[in-house]
Structure 1
Amino acid sequence: MDKIFDYIDAREAEYVTRVMDYVRHPSISAHNIGIRHVAGLLVDMLDGLGFQTQLIETAGHPFVFGEYLVDPSLPTVLLYGHYDVQPPDPLEKWISPPFEPTIRDGRIWARGIGDNKGQHFAQLMGIEALLAVTGTLPCNVKFLLEGEEEIGSPQIADFVAAHREMLACDLVITSDGPLHDTGLPQVTYGVRGMASFELRAKTADRDSHSGNYGGTMPNAVWTLVNLLATMKTPDGEITIAGLHDPIIPATNAERAAVGALPLDVDGFMAELGLKHLDAPANVPFYDRLMFRPTLTINGLHGGYGGEGTKSVIPSEAFAKCDIRLVEAMTPDQVFDCVRAHVAIHAPDVEFIAHGGMLPSKTSLESPYARAITDGIRAARGVEPLHIPSAGGSLPDYVFTKILGVPAFVVPYANHDEANHAPNENLKLDLFHAGIRTGAAMLTKIGGQ
């Protein structure tokens, strides 16, 4: 690995210039701005590395796919990322323009530099270094880059199912998201899923005077408040029947990994300005994020919200909610449970199911976990953290459940990358470490 690392280290400034040129091109999926242009740039990059590359159309934005096949007896790694970015709004909150990459305080500041252009560009540069030094790759590599991740990946499940043979691999690695707040490298083995839904109450044809009609006309806001109170106790326990039935408990290996994770609850609370953690009070910190479902009221709306007062009984109200899923819950199972609960406790309330995403889990004892760990250790000089599951959601289920292979998330970005927010950024040293890490992981996987 020394020759490869020397090659990468000697080109540190060059890589920074090139990634800044890449991220200055907008690719905002929500507004269909620059998507095809950036997809074309990626096709050119992969072609230039010797990949067999395709731009594959979908009902939405296209996928970019490339493969570099060395030897069928070697492992095949699928690298997943996304080339679309979030809208940069609000523009006035940016210190420097979002699509004019700027170096400041040891970081590159630009929309997409952390999420996800800078991270998959680091993977590309790691591959370029391997090819330059050795003339080949240590394993078979496939690259899949999506153009709709930031709008919920609406095409990816059908795409993966329809292209199983093309995407066939032994494992998937995604470099996306932030590192642990200690700055230590990490391997994440799973993600929670999500099911979003809406509750709508209508109690009358119009809002009415709270004196003339108070005590006779049902209040739509109270209807929802009372319904929501039946779904979760003040102690924080979700009380929707059947919701927890499919859950697979954490394994001993997952418990051991969680026990080794750094934890500063006081610092976490101080950063958010919290006086206490959410209920239940007796649940361990990481259990809350990895091993338990959550029920969140995203918004509750109804009645008068303007200045001053208005003595009115709201005739309509709605609540938007989500439930985070753990293995082996499914959105359909969750929707069935919530729908049944509403029918019992508030049959006049309309239940509307919105989008959902399955959870994903890879065993910590996967044979590829050791190779990935060895690669990170070689590149970074420290042991990575092993995180059984992220609290958030990624479409990893398409790999673990449709392709049937282990999937790992190895992020390169700093924990305060401000993805989805103004002043998104990526630390220069972590971008460089990502290039080294990408090259090292492929090398160790190929030698396994």
Structure 2
Amino acid sequence: MDKVISWIDETREQSIEKLARLISQPSVSSTGEGVEECAQLLVEMLTEVGLDAKVMPTKGLPAVYAERIAPGTPTVIFYGHYDVQPVGDLSLWETPPFEPDIRNGRMYGRGTGDNKGQLLTHIIAVDAFLKTYGELPCSVKFLLDGEEESGSPNLGDFVEENKELLKADVCYFADGPIHYSGRPQVVFGCRGIIDVEIVLDENIRDCHSGHYGALIPNPAWRLVHLLKTMKDAGGKVLVEGFYDKVRPITPAEEEVLKHIPFDVESYFEGVRYPGTGPEWDRIEALKAHMFQPTMTITGLGSGYTGEGVATIVPAKAVCKIDMRLVADQDPDEIFELIEKHVKKHLPEAKVSGHGKMYPSRTELELPISQAIIGAVKRAWGVDPVVVPSSGASCPEYVFTQILEMPTISVPYANPDENNHAPNENFDLDLFIQGIKTTAHVIDTIAKHEEW
């Protein structure tokens, strides 16, 4: 490994140039801007390293696939996404989002941290082995998603149709930041999500509240009464069957929670006003964050909400809800439970779904899980923070459920990467450290025997 790590250090500037090359190409999945061109660019970059690479069509925007097979060795598949968020208000960017700029030891530009810079670390780590030894110690595959920032709506079908091609022993990816303590973190799962909209459209038009307030239904009040039947004041979801398939926390997961640095007070700083909300115990907060599903009102509207008042009975009321799901919950089943509940309590309301993603979790006790924790420790020289599950959602389920392989994430970006925001950036020391970490992971997978 010493030769590989030395090569990574010696080629630092060339790696940074590759990052700038990739960031310079727009790839906004919500509009389609530059996505196909970026896919072609990645094929070029993967081919230059020595992999067989190609653009593969999906029902939406294209995926990129690459491989280099070393017969008789274990196979790792690297996942990443090359699409990026829209840039938003350009006036808030200090430099143009697709003109990468280096300042304060960081590269600024859309996609630096999320996720082009992090997926590039895997490509360069593969290059390090090939340049140093002429061959890889294990087989590698790449699946690069062009629609992650739009919810990866076509990734599941694509993976189902290409199971044999994508077959591997383990999936590894880097997305998100290192732990705020400065230590690396190894993440073994994520929550799923289902978005629903409830619409109650009862009156032909808004009406005078004095003339009609006592005589016609008020959809705003009726929707509020429905919502009260869905969740109690303590935060418990009241929809029948909602918690039935929640996977219990394991003793190993209970144990690692004790060692996760988590400052409850700091976590809420700048988020909620002092004195509001429940007072959380550290461990109970982590359990709720990782192992419990949620139901969140993300939008609620009816009637007049502008300056002053309008004395009306509104014609319509709308509520948007997202539910973050945990291991073993099925978003389709949860949607059916919501439909059934609404039909029982407010049958006039219409319920529709707007996107879903399945939850995922890999067992901490697996030999490969422990091996990768060890690889990250060797790469960084410190014990990583072991996280059983992220509170957020990503398309990890395509690997754990469809391809049935353990899936592990080790984020490389800085905590203040500003992903999804103006002035997105990637600390270049962490970028190089990410390359070294992936190299250690490749070496570990190659030597691993307990599959």
User: Could you say which TM-score interval applies, normalised by the shorter chain?
Assistant: over 0.9
Distance 1:148-1:257 versus aligned 2 partners, 3 A rule: same
Distance 1:225-1:279 versus aligned 2 partners, 3 A rule: farther
* Alignment correspondent of 1:128: 127
1:270 aligns with 2:266: no
* Alignment correspondent of 1:425: 425
* Alignment correspondent of 1:319: 319
Q: Deviations over 1:144-171 (max 9, x none)?
A: 1111111111111111111000000001
Q: 1:216 is matched by which residue type in structure 2?
A: L
Residues 133-148 of structure 1 correspond to what in structure 2 (within 5 A)? 133-148=132-147
What is the identity percentage for the equivalent residue pairs of Structure 1 and Structure 2? 43
Q: 2:193 is matched by which residue type in structure 1?
A: M
Q: CA deviation at 1:56?
A: 0.9
Preserved CA contact (<8 Å) 2:58 2:155:
no
Distance 2:94 2:224 in 1: 41
Q: CA deviation at 1:116?
A: 0.5
Q: CA deviation at 1:408?
A: 0.6
Partner secondary structure for residue 255 of structure 1: helix
Distance 1:322 1:404 in 2: 27
Distance 1:276-1:128 versus aligned 2 partners, 3 A rule: farther
1:6 aligns with 2:6: yes
TM-score scaled by length of structure 2:
0.96
* Alignment correspondent of 1:372: 372
Q: 2:295 is matched by which residue type in structure 1?
A: L
* Alignment correspondent of 2:383: 383
Distance 2:436 2:95 in 1: 29
* Alignment correspondent of 2:66: 66
Alignment gaps of 5+ in structure 1:
none
* Alignment correspondent of 1:256: 255
TM-score scaled by length of structure 1:
0.97
Structure 1's consecutive aligned runs of 4 or more residues displaced over 3 angstroms after TM superposition are: 276-283
Q: Deviations over 1:1-51 (max 9, x none)?
A: 111111111222221122112101101111111111111111111112221
Preserved CA contact (<8 Å) 2:55 2:63:
yes
Distance 1:312 1:340 in 2: 31
1:20 aligns with 2:20: yes
Q: Deviations over 1:233-264 (max 9, x none)?
A: 11111111100001111101111111110011
* Alignment correspondent of 2:193: 194
| Alpha-carbon RMSD | 1.4
Q: Deviations over 1:47-102 (max 9, x none)?
A: 12221222111221111111110122x21000000111111012111121111111
Distance 1:195 1:280 in 2: 27
Partner secondary structure for residue 391 of structure 1: coil
Q: CA deviation at 1:214?
A: 1.5
* Alignment correspondent of 1:310: 310
Distance 1:105 1:227 in 2: 52
Distance 1:277-1:252 versus aligned 2 partners, 3 A rule: farther
* Alignment correspondent of 1:86: 85
Q: 1:412 is matched by which residue type in structure 2?
A: Y
Q: 1:67 is matched by which residue type in structure 2?
A: E
Q: 1:98 is matched by which residue type in structure 2?
A: P
Residues 395-414 of structure 1 correspond to what in structure 2 (within 5 A)? 395-414=395-414
Q: CA deviation at 1:280?
A: 8.3
Q: How many pairs are equivalent?
A: 447
Distance 1:49 1:108 in 2: 23
Q: 1:264 is matched by which residue type in structure 2?
A: D
Residues 180-329 of structure 1 correspond to what in structure 2 (within 5 A)? 180-275=179-274, 278-279=277-278, 284-329=284-329
Distance 1:276-1:194 versus aligned 2 partners, 3 A rule: farther
Q: CA deviation at 1:401?
A: 0.6
Distance 1:385 1:318 in 2: 41
Distance 1:160 1:274 in 2: 44
- When structure 1 is superposed on structure 2, of 76-85 and 213-222 the one drifting more is 213-222
Q: Deviations over 1:311-330 (max 9, x none)?
A: 11111011111111011111
Residues 312-351 of structure 1 correspond to what in structure 2 (within 5 A)? 312-351=312-351
Q: CA deviation at 1:273?
A: 4.2
Q: CA deviation at 1:279?
A: 4.8
Preserved CA contact (<8 Å) 2:191 2:327:
yes
1:415 aligns with 2:427: no
Distance 1:446 1:287 in 2: 34
